[in-house]
Structure 1
C-alpha cells in the first residue's frame, strides 16, 4: 500500500539560482500523479529532493511522520527503502545481464538467499513482461526493454512510493503507450504511490489521477486530473495545446514586451482540447484511486471542453461508465462504491460550452 507524501513550502537553489520556491502539494497514497513543466523547470530536481538525494534550502517533505530533509543519516537510509526509482535511461549496469541488474538491490540491501532472490526477480520480470530475457545484456535489448528492466529493478524491494523520471524519453509513441499501460496495471496491482515526471502530453492527459505543472520557479497548479485539464490558466492552455502563443518561451518564460505584442495582435491561445477518458487497466479492474469520468467537474459545476470523455472507438464514457461498472468490472482493486450515483452537482452534455475556471489550489 502506498504512503502519502506532503510537501510544504519547499525551496531549492543552486548557488544564486532558484530552481523552484515555496512548492506545496500532497501526493495522495496509492494514486498516480504526474508532474509537467517546460524543460529546465527542475522536475528531475524535485524527484531527487523527494528521495533525499538533494537537500532543499527550506521546507518539509513529510513521508508519514518522518520529515525527510531533517532525518539523521540512519533514518534517511531506512526511509529511502520505501522508494523505487525508474531513471530516464534505465540506469542499468552494462556489464551485468538483466537478471543481475534486477537482483542488485536485493543483494545489496537484504540478506535473502539466492533462491529467494531468484523467485522475486522472476516475479518482477514477469510483471513487466521480460521473462525469457534474463541473460541478455543491456546493450542487446531495445530502449523499451531497458525501461521495463529498470522498472522491474525499482520494484524488487516492494516500494510504497515509485518515482518515474521521463518514462517516454527515447521511446516511440507505441512503446510509450505500452509503458503507460504497464504503469496503470502496476498501480492497480501493488497500490503504490506513483509520481511521474514527463513532457508527454498524452501520458499526462490519460494516465494520472492528479497533475501538477511547474513554471517560473513555482508550482502553478496541482490537483485532480480533470481540474488541470479544464483549467483556463494561460500557461496550462499553452502547454496542453503545444502552442507558441502564451507565457512559455524558448528559454522558459517570455518577457513582458513579447506577451504585450501577442495580446495586441489578438492571438488566440487556443481552446482547451477535449478531456480524454482515463486509461483503464488491461484486465478491466477499477483502481482504488480511479473516479467516474466527469466526477470532479460535476462536483465543481464546470463544463468540460466539447468532445470530452469520448474514446477512439466513439464511446462516450459519461454514458458508458455505469454500464461498465454494472457489467462486473469492479472486482479486485475496485473502490468502495464506484457504482453509486455521480457526485451531486449540475449535469452537462457533450455539446455544452464554457463554464467557470476551476479554483487555484
Structure 2
C-alpha cells in the first residue's frame, strides 16, 4: 500500500533566489496526485527534496514516520527504497540494453539471484507493455518506449511511492493518453502513492485524485481534483484553463499594472470538469469518488457541461448505471 507524504513549512533557495517558501500540504496515501505550475516554479526541485537529493533551507518532509531532511545517510538510503522515480527523459544508461537498465536497481540494491531478477524484470516489462524489447538499446526505441522503460525500472523494487517528473514531456497526445491510463492501472494494481509533476493540462484534468499549483514562490492551492477545477482563484482558474488573462505572465508573473488593466474584462468561468479516467479492467480504485461528490458536499455548482464523456453520457447523474455496466462480465 502507499505511504502518506506530509510537507510542513518547506523553504528552498539557491543563493539569493528563493524557489519557494512555507510550502505545506499532505499527499494522501495510495492516491494519484499531480503538481503543476509555470516554468521555473521549482516542481522538479520539490521532487528532489522529497527523496533527499536536495535539502530544504527549513521545514519538514515526513515519509513513513521519518523526517527526510533530518535522516542520517544510512537512514536516507533505506527510506529511498520506498520510492520509485520516473525521470523526465527516462534517464536510461545508453550503453545498456533495456533489460539491463530495468534490472539495474535489483542488482544494485538486492541480493536476488539472476533467475529471480529475470522473473521480476520480465513481469514489470509486461506491465508497461515492453515485452520483446529486452535486447534493444535506448537509442533504438521511441521516446514513449523510453518513458515506459524508465517506469518499469522505477517499479522493480515494488515501491510504495511513485514520483514521475514530467512523464508526458515530448510525447504526442495519443502516447500521453496511453501513459495516463497506465498510471491509473498501476495505481489500481499496486495501491502505491503517485505524485506526478506535469505541464500537461489535459493530463491534470482527467488523471489525478488531487491537484496542486506552485506559483509565486509558494503553493497556491492543493486539494481534490473537483475543488481545483471548479476554483475561481485567479491563478488557478487561469492556469488550469490555459488562459492569458490572470496573474501568470510570459515571465512567470505579471506586474500589478498589467493585472489591473485586465480588471475590466469579465472573469471567465472554469471550463467543464471532465470525467476522471477509470481503470482498464473496470474496477474502481479505492480513492475514486462519485463524480460531483466534492461539489455537492461543499455546495458548489459544477461548471456547465461537466462530467459529460465523449459518448454524451453524464457521469454525475448516471454513475450507478455506468459503474454496474463496467462490472458486468463482457
Same fold per superposition (TM over 0.5): yes
Task: Show the 5 A alignment for 1:52-201.
Answer: 52-201=52-201
Helix, strand or coil at the partner of 2:252: coil
Aligned counterpart, 1:310: 308
Aligned counterpart, 1:295: 293
Alpha-carbon RMSD across the aligned residues, in angstroms, is 1.2
1:323 CA displacement: 1.2
Contact 1:138 1:146 in 2 (8 A): yes
Helix, strand or coil at the partner of 2:25: strand
Distance 1:134 1:252 in 2: 42
Helix, strand or coil at the partner of 1:146: helix
Contact 2:32 2:195 in 1 (8 A): yes
Distance 2:241 2:106 in 1: 43
Aligned counterpart, 2:269: 271
Aligned counterpart, 1:339: none
Q: Against the structure 1 CA distance between its residues 258 and 328, is the aligned structure 2 distance closer, same or farther, given a 3 Å change threshold?
A: closer
Helix, strand or coil at the partner of 2:41: coil
Distance 2:273 2:244 in 1: 21
1:271 CA displacement: 1.9
The Cα offsets for residues 282-337 of structure 1, whole Å up to 9 and x where unpaired, read as: 11110011111011111111000000000011100012211133346399xxxxxx
Asked if residue 329 in structure 1 is aligned to residue 322 in structure 2, the reply is no
Helix, strand or coil at the partner of 1:11: strand
Contact 1:238 1:269 in 2 (8 A): no
- TM-score (norm: length of structure 2): 0.98
- TM-score (norm: length of structure 1): 0.90
| Bigger mean CA offset, 209-218 vs 235-244 | 235-244
Contact 2:315 2:322 in 1 (8 A): no
Distance 2:41 2:134 in 1: 37
Distance 1:43 1:3 in 2: 20
Distance 2:174 2:266 in 1: 32
1:269 CA displacement: 4.4
1:131 CA displacement: 0.3
Contact 1:246 1:259 in 2 (8 A): yes
Q: Against the structure 1 CA distance between its residues 172 and 59, is the aligned structure 2 distance closer, same or farther, given a 3 Å change threshold?
A: same
Distance 1:101 1:186 in 2: 20
Contact 2:295 2:302 in 1 (8 A): yes
The Cα offsets for residues 140-187 of structure 1, whole Å up to 9 and x where unpaired, read as: 000000000000000000000000000110100110000000000000
Aligned counterpart, 1:354: none
Contact 2:12 2:21 in 1 (8 A): yes
Unaligned runs of 5+ in 2: none
Equivalent residue in structure 2 for 1:284, among 282, 285, 303? 282
Distance 1:270 1:253 in 2: 19
Distance 1:221 1:329 in 2: 35
Q: Against the structure 1 CA distance between its residues 258 and 8, is the aligned structure 2 distance closer, same or farther, given a 3 Å change threshold?
A: same
Distance 1:303 1:60 in 2: 36
Helix, strand or coil at the partner of 2:219: strand
Contact 1:37 1:214 in 2 (8 A): yes
Aligned counterpart, 2:223: 223
Distance 1:296 1:325 in 2: 18
Unaligned runs of 5+ in 1: 332-361
1:268 CA displacement: 3.4
Aligned counterpart, 1:39: 39
Contact 1:184 1:207 in 2 (8 A): yes
